[in-house]
Structure 1
Amino acid sequence: MKLEPLVKEHTYHIFNRGINGETIFKTDENKQYFLRLADKYLSNKGTLYAYCLMDNHFHFLLIVNSDGDTITQALSNLFNAYAKAFNKAVNRTGSLFEKHFKRIRIDDESYLRRLIVYIHLNPKHHFDLDFTAFKYSSYSAILSDKETKLMRDEVLGFFGDKENYKFVHQQKNDLLEEKFMLE
């Protein structure tokens, strides 16, 4: 399978999961370490719009700031560094992630908005958790006034303002809950 190359100044949904659906984050410390590695390896090569780390998978929505080979190598280094540390910590060997990280190029702003909401609602989708309080998602960081490397202003600009950002997320959440009540 030929993977689509990453292209500078384009936006991508990057995601992967544990091999065979296995857990890749057993603790909060694992998730914190993964985010620190992401900051280290992606610095100046890619900038995040949104992210979410679940126990057995993750989502990044990022814009590529460097040439495709550079960002691809940075992502590979991130995943390899994390896998080595995780394997050592839990006394396991072998691949942690599925073979290649998935990537979908995003060229449509409407789809980008829906994808941001989808990424942030992952805790609700998978574990019926309150997505607004989930610590390993960019939802709250976008609303915060604390310093962040996320593209906060751009994300809020896609929704108009903070109030509409929250409103759209809640609307999608309400639709999700209605879907589950019907099943």
Structure 2
Amino acid sequence: MLPDQSYHIYNHANGSENIFREEENYRFFLHQYEKYLSAVVDTYAFCLMPNHFHLLVGVKEEAELARTFPKFETLEKLVSKQFSNFFSSYTQSFNKVYTRKGSLFIKNFKRKPILTECQWQDTFLYIHLNPIKHGFVKDLRNWKWSSFHGYESAKNPSKLERSYYLNYFDSWQHANYLMNIKKEAIMKEEME
């Protein structure tokens, strides 16, 4: 993963298991995410679903990474290592709590570089609409484990990099308008 580059990151539970069984799992995942990754990426969007998750992140600039981690071999390896440590930490804790063994996630997490403005917009919208796409809710306000709430209540403190999306949307109202259009398309597909 390259410095100063945005990525869509996602992964799924290994097999038919869930990676989140109860509310505390979601909270712990976000806590570990902050612990291991806040120094290497800015978070623009996230959605945690029972058996998978999606993230839209931007790897921090090279100078900032070098200042924070001066002894690391290469910055690309640093970011991948931090993600690996994060997944390992969550898995070890999950396995201990639920007396299970083995990998919790599919082996390699997926990371797609975001190369165009349109791709960034589509990924941002897609991530927020995931609970509707998978039939968990019909209204995004009813899905607790998403960055949607961080944008809806912009006055509340958040660990999201909330101003960055304005590079791609005129306002939150604009993003929300496009989300509603895509939501209608999803709902229409379900009816067919």
* CA–CA separation in structure 1 for the residues paired with 2:23 and 2:169: 30
2:150 is aligned with 1:141: yes
Deviation at 1:16, TM superposition (A): 0.5
What does residue 3 of structure 1 align with?
A: none
Cα pair distance change 1:115/1:79, threshold 3 Å = same
What does residue 73 of structure 1 align with?
A: 81
TM-score under structure 1 length normalisation:
0.93
- What SS class does the counterpart of residue 166 from structure 1 fall into? helix
- 2:4 alignment partner, one of 9, 12, 16: 9
Deviation at 1:133, TM superposition (A): 2.6
Aligned residue type for 1:170: N
Count, aligned residues? 177
Which blocks of at least 5 consecutive residues in structure 1 are unaligned?
A: 1-5
Aligned residue type for 1:142: Y
Which blocks of at least 5 consecutive residues in structure 2 are unaligned?
A: 66-74
Deviation at 1:128, TM superposition (A): 3.8
- 1:102 alignment partner, one of 101, 104, 110: 110
What does residue 165 of structure 2 align with?
A: 155
Cα pair distance change 1:175/1:112, threshold 3 Å = same
* Percent identity over paired residues: 36
**Range with greater deviation from structure 2 (142-151 or 74-83):** 142-151
TM-score under structure 2 length normalisation:
0.88
What does residue 32 of structure 1 align with?
A: 27
Deviation at 1:156, TM superposition (A): 3.8
Q: CA RMSD in A?
A: 1.2
- 1:178 alignment partner, one of 168, 176, 188: 188
* CA–CA separation in structure 1 for the residues paired with 2:79 and 2:11: 16
